[in-house]
Structure formats: structure tokens, C-alpha cells
Chains A and B, each alone.
Chain A
Amino acid sequence: MIELRNVSKSYRTQHSTTHVLRNANCTVMPGEKVAILGRNGAGKSTMVRILSGAERPNSGEIIRNMSVSWPLAFGGAFQTSLTGIDNMRFICRIYDVDPAGKIDYVDDFSELGKYLREPVRTYSSGMRARLAFAISMVIDFDCFLIDEVISVGDARFHEKCHEELFVKRGDRAMVIVSHDATYVRDHCSKIGVLNEGELTMFDDFDAGYAYYHEVYA
């Protein structure tokens, strides 16, 4: 289970303090699919960072009894002067996974071919996203964190990601943070709406969906 208890986060800007999250509460049970909806600037990215543990709240508590992934398909931590394989090895080492058995999988899934042994700096953004997604699948997590709609590569590759994530790992918990309500509707049973720092959780998707349209009308 992951539980956020009265989590607040504010940032000091040049002239004032911005409260991005105020007393946010939410729980994610094993296997549960939770959507967090909000417009740009509603605090979605902060939510992702807090859930992933990349950032700590100003107050409140986070209880994690499940392993939580980094934001899926996130390639920001790539060292671009290193090859795709070296970046994969680095992440495997951090999560205590033997990289030797995973190279074939990443090679096969990312379809990068010989580029896997080239520096990531030579990749297109689509190639980076494919590598990042493939590496994300190498580490086993109880809960996957998904920041925005996964739109990696072409339709066929998109289909592959879908299969890998929602079918093969369908029993895992997922938190999908997005501004696209129709996308999360297909995947989530529980929904939270972020509006001006307030997080409102709904166990009933349709109620949450209606609320989302109400506040962002």
C-alpha cells in the first residue's frame, strides 16, 4: 500500500510562496489503478515527484509498503554520453538486478538494434523514449508510476507497450497522472482530481470524472 497523509508542498518563488499541494490524502492498494487528473500547473508533476520519492513534502507523511517505479519511460536520468546498454547497466545496478540477462530483452523490446551500443546523445527523442520504456520494464515493481499518456513510437510500438504494461503487468498497482480524462478512463477504477492544490479522491470513477469537468468547466 502507498498512503499519503496530509501531504503539503509549497515552493518559495522570488516574491511569494506557492502552495502546490495542501493536505493531500490518498491511498493506493496493491493492484489498484488510480488516476490523478489535473490541468497544467495543477500540481501533477509535484504529485509524481512526491509519490516516486524524488522530492519530500514540507509536511505530512508518505507510507510506502510497495516498491514504486520511477516515472515510466522517463529518460531524464540518462547520461547521454554513455551508450544505451551502459545506461541500462547503471539502472540495473541501482535496483540490484543482474544486467547480463536483460540485454536481450531491452534489445528486443526497444528495437534499437546497433544503436543500443551507441551513445544516447545520438538517439532521436522517440528512440530515447523506447529505451526508457524498455529499461522501465526490466525492473520489477509493485506499483508503476505513469506520468502522462504513454505515446511512445508508432501505433505498433504503442500496442507493444500496452501489452507489456496493462496485460502482462495487469496485477500491479498503477498511478497514472494525466490531463487526459478519456485516456485514464480505460485503465483506472479510482480517480483523484487536483485543483488549486486540493486533491479530491473518488472511489467511483464517474463521480470523479463529473467533478473534473465541473471544476475545469
Chain B
Amino acid sequence: MQATSLYDAWKIQRRVIWALFLREILTRYGRHNIGLLWLFGEPMLFTVGVTLMWIAFGATHGSDLPITAFAVSGYSTVLIWRNMSSRCVAAIHPNSALLYHRNVKVLSIFISRMMVEAGGATLSMVLLTILFSYMEWMSPPENVLMVALGWSMLIWFSAALAIFLGSLSEFSELVERLWHPIAYFLLPVSGAGYLVDALPPEAQRIILILPLAHGTEMVREGFFGSKVVSHYDIGYMAEINLVLTFVALLLTSYVSRRVIPE
């Protein structure tokens, strides 16, 4: 049908993305053993592992905050941007046969995959926060709304980055090769492992050029607001996100025209 209204297109895409989302979850986690629970079980294991490691090494990261809360608030943010991007890089080609179903678009494939990752990471963070708070390993976030805001900004940035990288990886497999080392180097500058306030002013300035640290600091502000000084500028992060989203969508629409399904 050519003459579909925007509302119809939205209804169709909602359905298609949901179908792809279920397919992705079933494919990755299956119906065997704990199945669907792996969706957040996997990121939870990651975060718990890092938490235990930091506790074991007494890694205080230049603050006197409880290590558990520090790890949960910090490492969870890494899972968002790293996993969302990794899922979209080189994702088009192996799934190109799906494009024979006309309503499946390159963007629907990206979005469904990002939903799996963002959903898993979010559930994992929430459940761990509840669990550890209940066990009194950490205190609950001081300002849940602030956490949600920072978290949403991070998801927005990660989605734009993932769509950008996913589209770019169609041009050259170099993107896939380079993404892993880049993700590795992004880790220390993402602000996940320390408070920006603990850095010398010059380093702070450099770190805050990247939008990632702004999001992480917002999440920290939500968790420990009264105990830390957070450095973030939500307007700046929104600007970068907006520009990156725009570029990413342009690139996807260009790639969509080029992709040749198998």
C-alpha cells in the first residue's frame, strides 16, 4: 500500500518491531532453562561480577561512596552504550533476508535489537538496586527521577550511536574491527569508574567533551546527590544527542537504499 498515513505506518512499525523483538529474544535466550530471564540475567551477572571484583580490590575510585552502589550505578551505564552499539554493528547483512517482508526496514531491525539490550540493562539495574538495597549493601537512590532522566539520556545517546555505527558498518567491515577497541577506550572516559569531580580540572574539561560522562554523572547525582558534586550539562548532552540522531538517521536512510537482500 502506497498511501499509508503516518499513523498507519507507526502502527505497522510498532507491530513489526515487536515481532522482531520477540524473535530476537527467543533466538538468543530460547525456551530452554531460564529462557527469557537471561534477558536481564546476563547483564546482572556482569554487574555483580564487577561489583565483587571492585570490592575485592577495595577499588574506591577516588570517593568514599559505598563500592556496591558505585558499581551498580556506574557499570550498568556501560552495558547500555556498549551492548546497544555492539548489537547493531554488522547487524544488517545477516538479517537482510528479513527485508523481503516489506514492512521490515533496516531501522526496525536496529530498534528491535536495541530494545532487547536497553530493556535487559534497565531491568538488570533496577533489580540489582532493589536487591542490594534490600540486603542493605547500598542505600536506594536519593532521587529516582534524576536516575531515570540520566538513564534516558544515556539510552538516547546510545541509540543514536548504535544506529550510526550500525549503518556505517555496512560501508566497511573496518567499523566492526575498530568498534571493539574503541569501546574499550571509551570505558575509562565514560565516567563509569570514577567521579568526574575527583579528576583534576583540566582532565574534567576533556572528559566532559564526550556526552557519555554527562549521562553517567546524572545517574550518579540521582543515586548520591547529597554526597557528591556532579558535573553535567543536560542541554549540552541533548544537543550532541540531537545532532548524532540526525546524522544516524540520514545514514540509515542512505544505507537502506543501498542494501541488497540475499
Contact = CB atoms under 8 A, between A and B. Distances in A.
A11 B260 contact: yes
A79 B27 contact: yes
Contact of A94 (B26, B101, B260): B101
Interface string A1-38: 00000000001000000000000000000000000000
Contact of A53 (B22, B102, B260): B102
Contacts of B15: 93-94, 96
Nearest to A145: B100
Interface centre among B15, B16, B26, B257 (most CB of A within 10 A): B26
Contact of A86 (B16, B26, B97, B261): B26
Contact of B99 (A54, A81, A91, A96): A54
B206 to A, nearest CB: 40
A187 interface: no
B102 A63 contact: no
Interface in B236-262: 256-257, 259-262
Contacts of A91: 101
B1 A77 contact: no
A82 interface: yes
A65 interface: yes
B100 A54 contact: yes
Contacts of A53: 102
A152 B148 CA distance: 54
Given A56-B257, A64-B1, A67-B1, A93 B22 contact: yes
Interface in B62-99: 97-99
B104 interface: yes
Interface string A36-64: 00000000000001001111100000011
Contacts of B26: 79, 82, 86
A81 B31 CA distance: 11
Nearest to A56: B257
A52 B2 contact: no
B177 to A, nearest CB: 20
Interface in B24-59: 26-27, 30
Nearest to A139: B101
Interface residues of B, number: 25
Q: Say whether chain A's binding surface is mostly helix, strand, loop, or mixed.
A: loop
B23 interface: yes
B261 A54 contact: yes
B18 A93 contact: yes
A161 interface: no
Which of B1, B100, B260 has most chain A Cβ within 10 Å? B100
Contacts of A79: 23, 26-27
Contacts of A49: 100, 260-261
A65 B1 CA distance: 5
Nearest to A142: B1
A192 interface: no
Contacts of B16: 94
B19 interface: yes
Interface stretch (A68-76, A108-116, A201-209): A68-76
From A49, A70, A77, A79, name the one whose CB has the most chain B CB atoms within 10 angstroms.
A77
Contacts of A11: 260
Given A79-B23, A79-B27, A74 B103 contact: no
Given A56-B257, A63-B2, A65-B2, A94 B22 contact: no
A90 interface: yes
A76 B2 contact: no
Greatest chain B CB density within 10 A among A65, A71, A90 is at A90
Given A82-B26, A93-B15, A77 B98 contact: yes
B103 A90 contact: no
Contact of A81 (B18, B19, B27, B100): B27
Interface of A: 11, 49, 52-56, 63-65, 67-68, 70-71, 74, 76-77, 79, 81-82, 86, 90-91, 93-96
Given A81-B30, A94-B101, 18 more contacts: A49-B260, A53-B102, A54-B100, A54-B261, A55-B99, A55-B261, A56-B256, A68-B102, A70-B102, A71-B100, A76-B262, A77-B97, A77-B100, A86-B23, A90-B22, A93-B15, A94-B16, A96-B15
